[in-house]
Structure 1
Amino acid sequence: MKPITKKQSRYRPLLFLFFGLLAMMAVGTVCSLKWGQTYVSWRTLYEAVTYQGSEKAHLYIQTLRLPRALMACLVGMQLALAGLLTQLTTKNPLASPHVFGINAGAALAVVAGLVLLPQSHGGNLGLIGLAFAGATLGAVLVWSLAGSGSKQYVFIALAGITIHFLMSSLTEGLIILNQAATDSIMFWLVGSLTHAAWTEVRVILPFFVGGIALFVFMLPSLKLLLLDDEMASGLGQRILIVRGVSMVLVIVLAGSAVALCGPIGFICLLVPHIARELVGGSLNVLAPVTALLGGVLLVFADFVSRFLAFPYESPVGIVTALIGAPFFIYLALRMRGVRG
């Protein structure tokens, strides 16, 4: 019998964590399929997911609950990776697309399309196009206001918060001007998976696959973002190009998610920090753990949101805010204590 090497003993906990997160995601998906406003037996659930029945209960699971659970997994993974990339790019542990104006820009563009062009925004793909345009506008404004120099990363935070509140105010103004759609738009703005269907899953899937593929391809270059800019430049690396591609990837991941499910808060900020506490800062391990944690957190948050005001639905963003806001305060106090 061969002795266990140090390398094998180091990887065993990581493999256990990896498969544990996959198991948790599977459990969350099953819970999402089984429990809700309508009672579903285990037999009916099995027949529905294996497509062995065509009764009303089977169709209810196949057309409503199943795509909603899959959407939660995909969107959670996208938002978590977008948060990780934002923190790497800006070198700010409190950074996220939500705080830095990207989500607010996407939300403003989508709401503007829904309010001003209700019949001609082009469906889900049109909304994603609007979200990309709004997210790009937000990111460009933040980076333009931040300028360059040694204090750029400090100014990025200030500019991001400013742009976020500006675009959020414009969004609220558009909603006030269109009272007819206020309820549905406000529900979407908090972040909701209620209307997720197979159409939305098919639309977001190419962005999910393409974003993950680009992230994996960029992984060796993304490690440069962990270094000081001068050191990376001294090694002959084009750090500005890497940072630019990273922000484009953030826009793709966060923009497509916001367009279909609204600006779900705190997933981008919360999940990367939890992943770092579990596995450290190595990107080869941190990235997949972050993605899986995002999917797990959102699928369970969506499940819990169904029972907050039962039998009525609540936006999933309420649950993520209840979890994320105290964690954000804790993180800010912790950082202040470390600096002190």
Structure 2
Amino acid sequence: MASTFTVSAGYKEKQSRFRYLLFLFSVTVALLLIGFICNLKWGAARISWTELFHALAYRGHEKQHLYVQTLRLPRALTACMVGMQLALAGLLAQLATKNPLASPHVFGINAGAALAVVFGLVTVARFSPLDSVLFAFAGAAGGALLVWSLAGTGANAYVRLALAGITIHFLLSSLTEGLIILNQESTDSMMFWLVGSLSHAAWPDVRTLLPFFAAGMVLFAFMHPSFRLLLVDDEMAAGLGGKIAAIRSVALLLVIVLAGSAVALCGPIGFVCLIVPHIARALAGHHNLAVLAPLTALLGGTLLLFADFAGRFVAFPYESPVGIVTAAIGAPFFIYLARKQGGGSR
């Protein structure tokens, strides 16, 4: 009798959990769609609902239709993809390093990618979006290798990793600013990009980013069973037969692909990588990667869409870079996480 009651209670708990997750994903997808529509509908130029519908259906070629089709639509798509990429990159960085404060931004990946892109812009005559992505990959990999080489292995490696990452981040950022100051005639347009901006996103950027976005998502799905081992201790993962060093290497390579391609086109947008995985864990728990990963991606796209939308009205009629909005949201959250982790260790 007692066992029957226990099974019934467990079944009801699973049903309740399933309904909660279904509601959570439904609300998140709805918010993502609302943010996408807001980015298409409102801005410096007024667009009616009828004009918006005709523009999305490609039924007209008037000024308002072209404004939506050539400016707002690719910008919204870019914001959605970049937000998803950065959020997943942050989740993987935290899983691979066992550090809740880890992110590509903190560990030098974003700064390395930004330095390489600025260097390419200064030295290469015709710098295409694809060149920007390739330079960003090289810079991101260089920044990550430099941080890992300084951190080393052994006891307290993750603490040293954080310290080395912050140091390298500031070093590479200083070099980037120096390049911009010494080459102001060719880097004037980089100032908004350096803060993190979507204002110049266009269809060529979408076409350049899409293959890396798709490849990153496919690789994440393919490696999902292995990435689940990153949720447990290394000793337990090794006991389960997992090659944890190889899995961690693939995870960090995927972080470079996701974060590097995003930074190449939109600049080092801060704090999305850090705060979105924590929001997803708070909402859905941290034990099921099959739930945590897609929720993190959806929340990342939603956050960046609304941040870009808010940036249009912070100093209206002028636009503010989306990086300023994410920093305003993320900085207090980072302080809260740092204090929480410090309190936990004490």
TM-score under structure 2 normalisation? 0.95
Q: Deviations over 1:274-333 (max 9, x none)?
A: 000000002111101100000000000000001111111211000000000011111111
Which shows bigger deviation, 208-217 or 234-243? 234-243
Distance in 2, matches of 1:294 and 1:320, equals 11
Match of 1:263, SS state, is coil
Matches within 5 A, 1:1-340: 5-117=12-124, 119-121=125-127, 123-281=128-286, 282-340=288-346
Letter in structure 2 aligned against 1:264: I
Q: CA deviation at 1:236?
A: 2.5
Deviations 1:240-295 (A, max 9, x none): 10000001100000000000000000000010000000000021111011000000
In structure 1, the residue matched to 2:3 is none
Q: Residue 229 of structure 2 aligns to which amino acid in structure 1?
A: L
Hey, what's the Cα distance between the residues in 2 that align with 1:312 and 1:10? 45
Q: Compute the displacement of 1:223 (Å).
A: 1.3
Q: Compare 269-278 and 232-241 and name the one that shifted more.
A: 232-241
| Contact kept in structure 1, 2:122 and 2:187, CA below 8 Å | no
Report Cα offsets for 1:208-254 as digits up to 9, x if no partner: 11101111111111111122222222333211100000011000000
Cα separation, 2, equivalents of 1:217 and 1:333: 36
Q: Which region of structure 1 is more displaced relative to structure 2, 176-185 or 186-195?
A: 176-185
Question: How far off its partner does 1:158 sit?
Answer: 1.1
The C-alpha deviation readout for 1:20-42, integer Å capped at 9, x for no partner, is 11111111111111110001111
Contact map agreement 2:114 2:176 (CA 8 A) in 1 = yes
Structure 2: distance between partners of 1:30 and 1:137: 38
Q: Which amino acid aligns with 1:120?
A: R
Q: 1:310 to 1:183 in 2, by over 3 A?
A: farther
Work out the CA distance in 1 between the residues paired with 2:241 and 2:17: 33
- Residue 78 of structure 2 aligns with an amino acid whose one-letter code is M
What letter is aligned with 1:78? Q
Cα RMSD for the two superposed structures: 1.3
Structure 1 position 182, deviation (Å) = 4.1
Is there any run of 5+ residues in structure 2 with no aligned partner, and where? Answer: 1-10
One-letter amino acid of the structure 2 residue matched with residue 307 of structure 1: F
> Which consecutive aligned stretches of 4+ in structure 1 deviate over 4 angstroms post-superposition?
none
Read off the aligned partner of 1:76 and give its amino acid letter. G
Amino acid at match of 2:215: G
Secondary structure in 1 aligned to 2:189?
helix
| Structure 1 residue 16, shift from structure 2 partner | 1.0
CA distance in 1, matches of 2:99, 2:167: 16
Q: Distance in 2 between matches of 1:150 and 1:285?
A: 32
Report the CA distance between 1:5 and its aligned residue. 4.4
Partners of 1:324 and 1:164 in 2: CA distance: 17
Distance 2:95 2:302 in 1: 22
How far apart, CA to CA, are the structure 1 residues paired with 2:180 and 2:159? 32
Question: When the two structures are aligned, how many residues end up with a matched partner?
Answer: 336
Q: Offset at 1:134?
A: 0.2
